[in-house]
Amino acid sequence: MSTFLKLLPLELDGIAENDIIEPARELEKGDREVGIMSDTVKRLFTLGRLLERDSIQSILDGKYCADKAKKLELEAKASELEAKSHAINELMWISIRDEFSLWSEGTGVRQGFKVVVIEEEENDLPPFLKRFLIGGQ
């Protein structure tokens, strides 16, 4: 088993309640609230955002680094963190769809840790294809 998978439960448990990041998006037209994110999903959301932030910071640090070896190291770290952020976000969306049985509907998360179904416009892509192409919202 990879170190990433071994450490994931520890990473999630290590997120204090007061450090949990709330989704920034407000309820939008066409959103239908179906529930509230579970504690585990809140932690996955938070970890994904923290990894994304750290990846962006590594990119910025590398951009302004004069030492070529250090720059390559920072670029590799950014790539690693981006991939882990993506994987954590996918686990979050799978967890939400599984918990709320939303496998055939477009889903999103909103302020207040609300889980929503996004009512699709008539000419929009089918939800499963939209998830495949652009992920959840």
Number of domains in the chain: 1
Q: Looking at this protein, which amino acid is placed at residue 80? A: E
pLDDT the model gives residue 38: 97
Q: Looking at this protein, which amino acid is placed at residue 33? A: E
- pLDDT of 3 over the 80 cut: yes
Q: Average pLDDT of the chain?
A: 91
Each residue's pLDDT tens digit, 101-121:
999 889 999 999 999 999 866
Average pLDDT in the 2-26 region? Answer: 94
Which candidate, 25, 47, 37, places its Cα nearest to that of 102? 37
Average pLDDT in the 2-19 region? Answer: 93
Q: What angle do CA 86, 81, 113 make, to 5 degrees?
A: 50
Cross-strand pairs, 117 = 32, 107
Find the domain containing 76 and state its range.
3-134
The residue ranges of DSSP E strands in the chain, in sequence order, are 31-36, 107-110, 114-118
Q: What span, in angstroms and rounded, lies between the C-alpha atoms of 113 and 137?
A: 13
- pLDDT of 14 over the 60 cut: yes
